[in-house]
Chain A
């Protein structure tokens, strides 16, 4: 037996609370981040991802305190993203207890940030998050996806696959790939997008956006070729536990950590 496919619950955090939105809007409270982290850890989560979606800079330091508290109790890898603009932000998050830092909008605005952070702290702790949206819905045989930033509000003109390859070259150790079309819909991952990116890069790709049931996780791995699967709402509201998700994936021949 070899490497297990990772299941990663994602916690969107704002003002110290975990929330979940639909298509990046309409936020709904889902609880205390430390408590939720502990629950996922007990259920066998392979890793935890925190996205700080706090809009104002006033409450930015809250995420550092949350990560410190989680890191003292939960001994699995922690990834933190949201609002990372400079190498100093990476340093502060790593010092608070993050194992990996995810960079999204700032990677587009300043690609050298990825290179600088990777050369300073190592590629293993630099994740580039890509929010991608399908831009030619008419020609299904020749799909194209564009990178969006600022929580999905701003088009960049960048092709998602080319961007992922470039980020790998600059030092990204992993790609967190979110389909903007699918996020919050609970209709499953954008499998074509996931597969296109995962097959074109050598670093691990985490599929994100759209999980509504356990079979979607299986599709993400078997059809999307994802190295890890990320989901939020199916776990937050107690619909499924991480252990149920792993048992279901194992039934479908996917190697998981139990």
Chain B
């Protein structure tokens, strides 16, 4: 059995994610896979994603992976990264598509106006670089990570939860936006832990060791 399945639906580079997981869990068997059966049998599932959410969902469906991802989100430690966070939501402004609908809320684009910081500087989109992650809830995945630690972001769309409960952290750009979501066995982040140096590796190590309460496990 695969310990950790990284869901490969053909969107972008998953090598960074697998390299970082291999680094923090050298004894684990890690598979980058587009096989729904491998995802179903894996102990833990990571859903990364780059590019545009409509393309990501289309490619997920083209490989018959949607059901396996939904099952994983319902039954085992699940980590979403970037588009892997965004696709959990109900809908996205990007291409006006429906998401997986696991978390109530929507995905919005950073506005082209009013992107000015406190010093009067214009803020660029994509939001690219290292930003502070301010936690709003305690969670096993934050263990040993300094509060307000910086993580690496690169995205033009952000998530907005309908209810405050699932939000686990926010960042400022320039307004506060949710950058991490926690719900039962799901943890999903807008930033890239695999590219976020020690803080990111610690988060991945915490994920590998995480034993959430499972409803359908």
Contact = CB atoms under 8 A, between A and B. Distances in A.
Contacts of A227: 124, 128-129
Given A4-B131, A122-B51, A99 B196 contact: no
Given A122-B50, A203-B126, A225 B13 contact: no
B194 to A, nearest CB: 7
A55 to B, nearest CB: 28
Interface residues of B, number: 44
Majority secondary structure of chain B interface residues (helix, strand, loop or mixed)? mixed
A218 B214 CA distance: 51
Contacts of A244: none
Interface stretch (B15-23, B60-68, B98-106, B181-189): B15-23
A75 B201 contact: yes
A174 interface: yes
Interface in B147-184: 148, 150, 152-156, 171-174
A245 to B, nearest CB: 15
B152 A204 contact: no
A21 to B, nearest CB: 28
A46 B130 CA distance: 8
Interface in B107-131: 112, 117-118, 121-131
Interface of B: 11-13, 15-16, 19-20, 23, 50-52, 112, 117-118, 121-132, 148, 150, 152-156, 171-174, 192, 194-197, 200-201
Please list the 5 inter-chain residue pairs (A to B) with the smallest Cβ-Cβ separation, ordered nearest first: A122-B51, A94-B13, A257-B130, A124-B154, A204-B124
Interface of A: 1-6, 41, 46, 71-72, 75-77, 94-99, 121-125, 173-174, 199, 201-205, 225, 227-228, 257
